[in-house]
Amino acid sequence: MISYYHSLNLRVMMNAWNPDDVMSGSSMLLGSDDIYLLESYLISNGNYQSLAAWKIKADKCLSYASLYGISMATLSTSSTPISPSFGLTQQFSQAWFGTVIYNFQYFQATDIQYSASNNVLYAFENLLTSYGNSWQTADVQNDSNIHFYRSTDIYILQIYGDGVTYGNGSFTLLSNG
């Protein structure tokens, strides 16, 4: 199917819970024009997800993105129905900053039914319009299982959460920023 769509000059978006199911092996056909979708990214049906599991999967996807040039799209879901104010919640900030600190290309938040019940998809504002010009760390760091971060030349971008009851994302301006 991938070869067929590529023959029509179409991009492919693939999804599988385990990124290895799509991107490992010698028969991997996705390329730099294609996208892998990370569903249930940090928030699934309004529930926080494990940060330890998130980091393993996100690191794996970053590795595949570097290897094959594939773009990454993250998708977080609230419970149904999603509110137009979801973009102001701690869940949104955790998922948004969790996408940004990996420098993934696309992010969306919607309800668990992917807006199928009402055909409404909200366009939420980015929490920062510019978060720096260069990364100061090659990968995402952590000082505990509930705090992950990555620094740019201007900010420290971070997420917190226990994977069950709370989570959020934020930024801190560096003194030299």
* Residue 107 in tokens: 């992010």
pLDDT for the residue 177: 56
In whole angstroms, give the CA distance from residue 34 to residue 105: 12
Q: Over the chain, what is the mean pLDDT?
A: 94
Count of domains forming the chain:
1
Q: pTM of the entire structure?
A: 0.94
pLDDT at 170 over 60: yes
In a domain, 31, yes or no: yes
Taking residues 7-15, what's their average pLDDT? 96
In a domain, 8, yes or no: yes
pLDDT for the residue 25: 83
In a domain, 128, yes or no: no
In a domain, 130, yes or no: no
In whole angstroms, give the CA distance from residue 31 to residue 65: 9
In a domain, 54, yes or no: yes
Note the helical H segments in 8-161: 20-23, 51-68, 90-100
For 105-164, what is each residue's pLDDT tens digit?
A: 999 999 999 888 888 889 999 999 999 999 999 999 999 999 999 999 999 999 999 999
For 131-140, what is each residue's pLDDT tens digit?
A: 999 999 999 9
For 54-110, what is each residue's pLDDT tens digit?
A: 999 999 999 999 999 999 999 999 987 888 999 999 999 999 999 999 999 999 999
Structural contact between residues 156 and 172, judged by C-beta atoms closer than 8 angstroms: yes
In a domain, 129, yes or no: no
**Containing domain of residue 37, as a range?**
2-119
In a domain, 30, yes or no: yes
pLDDT for the residue 26: 82
Taking residues 42-57, what's their average pLDDT? 96
> Angle CA(174)–CA(87)–CA(169) in degrees, nearest 5?
35
> Angle CA(169)–CA(112)–CA(23) in degrees, nearest 5?
75
pLDDT for the residue 58: 97
* Residue 74 in tokens: 């993250």
What percent of the chain is modeled with pLDDT above 70? 99
Tell which residue, 174, 23, 152, has the closest CA to residue 97: 152
In a domain, 82, yes or no: yes
